[in-house]
């Protein structure tokens, strides 16, 4: 089994370099029917990557029994409640003694507010790897939360998750999305932020949909782009999400489409160029962004 251990070692090194940690607690056992892989990894991508790597080494049948910590159905290490007004979730493990504003700017994955329930996946030093109710994962300081021994699953992940190729039925008017988005107008843009103090483009769309209709979008724009259904530009409605890339930087971007009373199209979005959250004419936005796709998440 030395080849498999070499494969795991390389995968661990790759993910440690990328995220500052790795979870590859795996066992390879050969049976009369083939190879059985059991144990745990962090994500579904790592699970499939392990199986693909094993297929290059082992030519027989492979049974994948790997469990992923990020699967919301899996067992968690524990639960936590955010005790500060606002905390950052970091995309990689960074020793708390060296974290500063410059590093935080690069690794901020999202934010959580006071009272929010987090699922604890693992501990390392004085930090916890947690998962928000929208399934976003990140590292937080132990001092930022209150750990709970009892299960808080009933209060975690509440809402309706969007899915690829499907629309969520709503009873209230789409205008409610715009009214919710208007509450954020003027809020400054900060990459990875998600609050009424600072926010990024996908944080805005996520919060607007959650607050308006209890609909849960993925945290990041290109994950949001996988959801719902594609809409032709001639059939757009208020609340559709418009996905773009910046013409100068090629940075990915998302905004909320609004069909105004005069049938003019506006986009409400959060960006550096617009000075934070702003409502802009569709043509003004199109002058600075490549419009790639419009997707719908809800239906009447």
In a domain, 295, yes or no: yes
pLDDT band at 221 (very low <50, low <70, confident <90, very high): very high
Which of 225, 12, 21 minimizes the C-alpha distance to 138? 21
| Lowest-confidence region among 97-101, 137-141, 243-247 | 97-101
pLDDT at 125 exceeding the cut of 80: yes
The yes-or-no verdict on residue 285 having pLDDT over 80 is yes
How high is the pLDDT of residue 1?
74
CA distances, 233 to each of 104, 209, 225, 252 (Å): 38, 21, 16, 19
Which residue out of 201, 207, 277, 297 is catalytically annotated?
201
pLDDT at 227 over 90: yes
Q: Catalytic: 253?
A: yes
Residue 191: predicted pLDDT: 95
The answer to the question of residue 29 being in a domain is: yes
For range 104-121, the mean pLDDT:
96
> What pLDDT does residue 256 have?
98
Specify whether 170 is located in the same domain as 143. no
- CA proximity to 224, closest of 251, 250, 205, 198: 205
Q: Are residues 166 and 294 in the same domain?
A: yes
Domain range for 36 is: 2-68
Q: Are both 165 and 239 inside the same structural domain?
A: yes
Quick check: is 117 in a domain?
yes
What is the reported pLDDT for 74? 86
List the end-to-end C-alpha distance of the chain, in Å, as a whole number.
Answer: 56
Q: Which residue out of 269, 278, 280, 294 is catalytically annotated?
A: 269
The pLDDT value given to residue 73: 86
In terms of domains, do 121 and 181 share one?
Answer: no
pLDDT in tens, 185-197: 999 999 999 999 9
The burial class, CB within 10 Å (0-12 / 13-18 / 19+), for 97 is: exposed
3-state secondary structure of 53: helix
- The residue among 109, 126, 155 that closes a domain is 155
Least confident range from 71-75, 137-141, 151-155, 201-205: namely 71-75
**CA–CA separation, 180 and 72 (whole Å):** 28
Residue 119 sits at the vertex; the CA angle it makes with 117 and 124, to the nearest 5 degrees, is 125
Q: Is 73 a member of any domain?
A: no
More confident residue, 84 or 59: 84
Other Cβ atoms less than 10 A from the Cβ of 196: the count is 12
Position 207 pLDDT exceeds 80: yes
Choice among 220, 253, 295, 296 that is catalytic: 253
Claim to verify: residue 115 and residue 190 sit in the same structural domain: no
Please say if 201 is a catalytic residue: yes
Q: Does some domain include residue 193? A: yes
Q: Out of 155, 178, 206, pick the residue that ends a domain.
A: 155
Q: Per residue in 13-63, pLDDT tens?
A: 999 998 999 998 999 999 999 999 999 999 999 999 999 999 999 989 999
Asked whether residue 137 falls in the same domain as residue 104, the answer is: yes
Cα separation, 289 vs 90, whole angstroms = 28
């Amino acid at each position: 089994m030395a080849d498999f251990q070499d494969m795991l070692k390389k995968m661990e090194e790759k993910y440690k370099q990328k995220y500052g940690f790795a979870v590859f607690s795996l066992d390879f056992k050969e049976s009369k029917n083939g190879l059985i892989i059991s144990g745990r990894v962090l994500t579904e991508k790592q699970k499939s990557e392990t199986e693909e790597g094993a297929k290059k080494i082992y030519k027989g049948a492979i049974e994948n029994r790997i469990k992923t910590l990020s699967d919301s159905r899996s067992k968690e290490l524990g639960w936590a409640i955010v005790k500060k007004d606002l905390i950052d979730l970091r995309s990689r493990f960074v020793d708390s003694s060296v974290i500063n504003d410059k590093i935080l700017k690069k690794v901020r994955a999202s934010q959580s507010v006071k009272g929010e329930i987090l699922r604890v996946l693992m501990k390392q030093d004085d930090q916890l790897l947690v998962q928000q109710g929208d399934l976003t994962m990140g590292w937080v300081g132990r001092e930022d939360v209150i750990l709970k021994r009892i299960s808080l699953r009933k209060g975690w992940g509440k809402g309706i998750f969007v899915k690829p190729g499907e629309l969520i039925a709503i009873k209230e008017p789409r205008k409610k999305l715009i009214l919710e988005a208007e509450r954020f107008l003027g809020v400054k843009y900060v990459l990875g932020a998600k609050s009424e103090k600072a926010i990024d483009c996908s944080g805005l769309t996520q919060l607007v949909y959650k607050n308006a209709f209890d609909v849960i979008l993925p945290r990041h724009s290109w994950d949001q782009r996988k959801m719902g259904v594609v809409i032709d530009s001639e059939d757009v409605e208020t609340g559709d999400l418009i996905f773009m890339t910046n013409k100068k930087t090629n940075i990915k971007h998302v905004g909320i489409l609004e069909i105004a009373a005069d049938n003019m199209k506006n986009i409400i979005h959060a960006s550096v160029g617009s000075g934070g959250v702003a409502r802009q004419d569709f043509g003004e936005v199109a002058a600075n962004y490549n419009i790639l796709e419009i997707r719908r998440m809800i239906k009447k």
